[in-house]
């Protein structure tokens, strides 16, 4: 089944404790992206990647890191989480950006709470 998986689905952590949220897709997609969803603010893009070893900042990259060493994986890293990073996070992937245009497939979300 074609899908985007995220782990963990739920995470409660404390300020300053490094964490990684994994994202994996099995559709051989080139484009991957991370979003955060907050009430009243909608979806805001954190980082995106057009292909392996190519990453770019989105609208709200501060406090986050990403890497794209393999095509299928795009982990989101919070080196020193703070309470304002409490949010619902979504990973997404698509074949590309321009062209078709290509549908984005979303993971089920990771609800992160930083205390």
Contact residues for other proteins, defined by CB under 8 A:
4, 33, 40-43, 45, 48, 58, 90, 92, 97-98, 101, 103-109
Rg of the chain taking only CA atoms, in angstroms = 13
**Beta bridge partner(s), residue 67:** none
| Residue 84 DSSP code | G
Going by the DSSP 8-state scheme, the letter that residue 102 receives in this structure is: P
19 vs 43, beta carbon nearer other proteins: 43
The least distance separating other proteins from the CB of residue 32, rounded to whole angstroms, comes to: 11
CA distance 23 to 61: 17
In whole angstroms, the minimum distance from the beta carbon of 20 to other proteins comes to: 19
Q: How far is the CB of 17 from other proteins (least distance, A)?
A: 26
Query: Of the two residues 14 and 41, which places its CB atom closer to other proteins in the complex?
Result: 41
Shortest Å distance, C-beta 89 to other proteins: 10
Nearest to 66 by CA among 56, 114, 83: 56
Q: Which is nearer to other proteins, 14 or 54 (CB)?
A: 54
Q: Which of residues 3 and 15 has its CB atom nearest to other proteins in the complex?
A: 3
- Cα gap 89→73, rounded to integer Å: 16
């Amino acid at each position: 089944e074609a899908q985007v998986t995220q782990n963990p689905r739920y995470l409660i952590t404390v300020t300053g404790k490094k964490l990684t949220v994994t994202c994996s897709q099995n559709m051989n997609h080139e484009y991957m992206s991370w979003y955060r969803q907050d009430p009243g603010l909608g979806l805001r893009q954190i980082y995106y990647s057009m292909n392996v070893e190519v990453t770019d900042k989105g609208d709200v990259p501060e406090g986050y890191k990403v890497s794209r060493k393999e095509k299928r994986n795009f982990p989101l890293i919070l080196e020193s989480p703070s309470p304002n990073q409490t949010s619902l996070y979504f990973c997404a992937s698509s074949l590309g950006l321009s062209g078709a245009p290509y549908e984005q497939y979303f993971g089920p979300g990771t609800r992160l709470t930083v205390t």
